[in-house]
Amino acid sequence: MNALADDLNRVLADTCAGRLLSDSGARMYFPKGILAQSAEANEKAHRFNATIGMAFSKGQPLILDAVRSQLPSLSPREAVAYAPTAGVNTLREAWRAELVRKNPSLSAGRFSLPVVVPGLTAGISYLADLFVAAGDPVVVADMFWPNYRLIMEERKGARLSSYAFFGDDGRFNATGMEQAARQAAAGRNKAVVVLNFPNNPTGYTPSVEEAQDIKAALVRVAESGVDLLVVADDAYFGLQYEDGSLRESIFAVLAQAHPRILAAKVDGPTKEDYVWGFRGGFVTLASAGMTDAAYNALVKKLMGVIRSSISNSAAPTQHILLKAMADPSFGRQKAEFHTLLESRYRATKAYISGHPEPEGLKALPFNSGYFMCFRCDGYSAEVLRQKLLEDKGIGTISIAERWLRVAFSSVEEEDIPALYSEIYAAAAELAGSDKR
């Protein structure tokens, strides 16, 4: 094993993060190669800097006028120079400050400086590189983003271990999650749990009380001697529409919950700031009692994963986001979009509550995010999806043959009643036919 990896592993040896590392995670390090030497030169090479593979003129990177004209608010360095492996530091600091503002509980303890990754998918995948090995169980609710399967099972050779998302009371099933985590940890004393709120596909966020139930359940598992990596997939963070829903991230609830719980927050501007194609995200880590040295070691390992895959995330999107966050109207503009999405949510709720559901179609609880789901009983959700698409020109998503996901976020408020009227009519036709 590389000596740099050994050094990082020694720093992490007495932490749950160190015990959770997979073999590949244990081997990972950030090399003292070209990038490290270039960073040193940026500080000390006051005459000539002949390190990094870029072309400069008069102290600025060369940039084609055809490119510069498309990015008038960015300097040549912001537009075309490489970003640091862990991301533009001023953006990382700004995002950290935003995390504390949005999650006041985080002000009570240490957590790592966020690391920039090329999208939330990459963030989850990089965590898997560090902590998930072939054959490992990864605990997810049965209603999960399908890309988890591609990341965990197909890329890493792990296996998804699921539990019912909703309990019989229509609330988040913390008991089922706890049982699944204990089963996953059996014989290995460690487990990986992925939580996603607001959830894709259900559009459900637990209440503050439910969040405490989740915390208590995971602490009980940790108290039994199990090390837990809990990944908070916060793709839809901030899009809650009902009082009483958890407004902080579940990451903030778990960040200082127990020394055997390593919480990882994967978030970014994609949905929060309505920049879906930016492909930018952040990974932030926290655990009770973890030192700054341990956080730095984890960040170095994460930087090694980034360096060995894409080298660094795109610089222009980072600088555009940083400038946008500094705009005095940024918060107001986000609030306007939140109000727009909430109006579509309210229209969806109004239709469902005001119209009897056809046989075999049941709306599941939802209160946030972009989506809601119907459970299909007696016929396949895929058959319903195809019927809506072919007969009505309406696109929806079927999941596991059982659930139909509808993105109310992408439909104008005035069109919501027509959309759901067609869904109800198509479901009624299927319930009364033999073609199910």
How far apart are alpha carbons 85 and 261 in whole angstroms?
A: 27
Residue 169 has pLDDT above 80, yes or no: yes
172 or 57, higher pLDDT = 172
* Confidence bin at 109 (pLDDT 50/70/90): confident
CA distance 283 to 302: 9
φ and ψ at 376, to 5 degrees? -105, 125
Q: How confident is the model at residue 106 (pLDDT cuts 50, 70, 90)?
A: very high
Lowest mean pLDDT among 49-53, 266-270, 352-356: 49-53
Q: How many other CB atoms sit within 10 Å of the CB of residue 124?
A: 26
Neighbours of 59 (CB within 10 A): 8
pTM over 0.75: yes
Domain 331-431 fold: Aspartate Aminotransferase, domain 1 (3.90.1150)
Q: Give residue-wise pLDDT tens across range 241-273.
A: 999 999 999 999 999 999 999 999 999 999 999
pLDDT at 1 > cutoff 90: no
Asked whether 85 and 323 are in contact (CB, 8 A), the reply is: no
Write out pLDDT tens, residues 308-319.
999 999 999 999
Residue 43 confidence (pLDDT) above 90: no
Cβ–Cβ < 8 Å for 282, 268? yes
Topology at the third CATH level for domain 3-30+85-326: Aspartate Aminotransferase; domain 2 (3.40.640)
Q: For position 226, what pLDDT does the model report?
A: 97
pLDDT band at 165 (very low <50, low <70, confident <90, very high): very high
Q: In the prediction, which pLDDT does 34 show?
A: 66
CA distance 264 to 251: 7
Q: Where are the domains of the chain?
A: 3-30+85-326, 331-431
Q: What letter does residue 152 receive in the DSSP assignment?
A: I
Strand stretches in 58-147, DSSP E: 60-61, 115-117, 137-141
pLDDT of residue 53: 81
* Share of residues in the chain with pLDDT > 70 (%): 97
3-state secondary structure of 351: helix
d(CA 55, CA 420): 56
pLDDT value of position 44: 75
Query: What pLDDT does residue 45 have?
Result: 64
Helix axes 315-326, 89-102, angle to 10 degrees: 50
Calculate ∠ Cα 111-114-119, nearest 5°.
140
User: Is the CB of residue 71 less than 8 Å from the CB of residue 85?
Assistant: no
Lowest mean pLDDT among 44-58, 71-85, 294-308, 385-399: 44-58
Compute the average pLDDT of residues 397-421.
96
Cα–Cα distance, 314 to 261 (Å, whole number): 32
What pLDDT does 248 receive?
97
pLDDT over 90 for what percent of the chain?
A: 88
135 pLDDT more than 60: yes
Q: What is the pLDDT of residues 219-247, one digit of tens each?
A: 999 999 999 999 999 999 999 999 999 99
- What are the tens digits of pLDDT across the range 195-213? 999 999 999 999 999 999 9
In the predicted structure, residue 55 carries a pLDDT above the cut 90: no
Q: What is the DSSP letter of 291?
A: -
**Ramachandran category for residue 264: left, alpha or beta (phi over 0 → left; psi -120 to 50 → alpha):** beta
Mean pLDDT over 164-177 rounds to 97
What b/e string do you get for 90-103 counting C-beta neighbours within 10 Å, with b at 16 or more? ebbebbbeebeebb
Cβ atoms of residues 92 and 299 within 8 Å = no
Asked if residues 152 and 128 have their Cβ atoms less than 8 Å apart, the reply is yes
Which pLDDT band, with edges at 50, 70 and 90, does 432 fall under? confident
Q: How many CA atoms lie within 13 A of 29 on its CB side?
A: 17
Per-residue confidence (pLDDT) for residue 397, from 0 to 100: 96
> Can you name the residues that pair with 228 across neighbouring β-strands?
191, 261
Computed over every residue of the chain, the mean pLDDT equals 94
Angstrom distance (rounded) from CA 97 to CA 101: 6
Q: What is the pLDDT of residues 136-148, one digit of tens each?
A: 999 999 999 999 9
φ/ψ bin of 274: left (φ > 0), alpha (ψ from -120 to 50), beta (otherwise): left
Section 126-155 average pLDDT: 96
User: What is the model's pLDDT at position 108?
Assistant: 82
Give CA–CA dist 141/364, Å, rounded. 14
Q: What is the pLDDT of residue 52?
A: 74
Only one residue has tokens 């740099």, namely 4
